[in-house]
Amino acid sequence: MKYINRASPVIPQFKKMPLEEMIAVESLKEGLKWIYWASEKLPFKISVARIRQVSQDIFALFKGYLPSYLPCDTRYHDLEHTLRLLPPFCQIAVALSKKPPETILPRVLELGLVAVFLHDSGYIRKKGDRSGTGAKYTFRHIDRSVDFASRYLSCLGYREQDLMRVEHMIKCTGVKPKLEQINFTSEGCRLLGYALGTADLLSQMADPGYLNKLPLLFLEFQEAYNYEGPEQLQEMEIQPFKSCEDLIQKIPFFFKKVVQKRLEDMDALYLLLDDPETGRNPYLERIQAHMKKIAQRYSSM
């Protein structure tokens, strides 16, 4: 499995880089700032260099700079979607690291950050995969992400136990994670897996552009529906959305009945994002504002 040559720049510095790639570079820099912030706040030291290496490789993966892979072509689950997990994940991880007993160890926290970058790598197609887009793997992307993470981290010399830890954390993401079936190797691994799952939900639904991105999410679902077929969807117990409007209209119900339950099931770690002075949670407030807009839209129809 070939990856980028360390002798050459990981992030190409073209003089006339397209605007969207300039934004992606800035987003990666912003993401790394959160990692540096966390490293300063933690009660122990972590290897920022190892995490930065993974972040640069994932940037290259999503941009199509790795020799065996096509660029990311899913417009909802793109690089920005992955990077948006860093602020809430880092905030939760720092809060957990300061709670007794000391269950969050440096190595496990590093692996948690690695899992953030790798958790949606399963949307990326190999160069021989020419049909459709990565969206067709929507209902399979977690297993694909685990597979990619295992092969990639093995190339970097990560131990088998570390591969398992990253796998368990990635499996905490997705719409219907089977948390009770994950045999976490430690309490710290479980907590950081839950932190990843919590950040995955909150970061996308609190995104200021979330409502405008929902049509893109529906297009990804639609391609996955066609790829899987009716029989497979039924076996997976997936009820397809009939239209983009159907998806948007059902988002408040999804948040209330599915997302909120998942957040509670994951040890209610979202509470660690509350402002210590006001008690307000900026992520939940933004999500509630989105839900209110949807309700207003359909109450007037």
Q: Is 5 helix (H, G, I), strand (E, B) or coil?
A: coil
Q: Would you write out the chain's pLDDT as a tens digit for each of its 301 residues?
A: 444 333 332 333 323 444 444 344 457 888 899 999 999 999 999 999 999 999 999 999 999 999 999 999 999 999 999 999 999 999 999 999 998 888 999 999 999 999 999 999 999 999 999 999 999 999 999 999 999 999 999 999 999 999 999 999 999 998 889 999 999 999 999 999 999 999 999 999 999 999 999 999 999 999 999 999 999 999 999 999 999 999 999 999 999 999 999 999 999 999 999 998 899 999 999 999 999 999 998 876 5
pLDDT at 97: 96
pLDDT at 99: 86
Please check whether residue 107 lies inside any domain of the structure: yes
Domain hosting residue 276, numbered range = 19-299
136 CA to centre of own chain: 18
CA distance 168 to 185: 9
Please check whether residue 172 lies inside any domain of the structure: yes
Q: Does the predicted model carry a pTM greater than 0.75?
A: yes
For the chain, the farthest-separated pair of C-alpha atoms sits apart, in whole angstroms, at 59
Please check whether residue 79 lies inside any domain of the structure: yes
pLDDT at 12: 30
Please check whether residue 88 lies inside any domain of the structure: yes
Q: Residue 202 burial by CB count (10 A; 0-12/13-18/19+): exposed, middle or buried?
A: buried
Which CATH number fits the domain that encloses residue 165? 1.10.1300
Please count the structural domains in the chain: 1
Burial track 215-242 (b if 16+ CB lie within 10 A, e otherwise): ebbbbbbbbbbebbeeeebeeeebeebe
Please check whether residue 10 lies inside any domain of the structure: no
For the record, the structure tokens of 235 come out as 């076996």
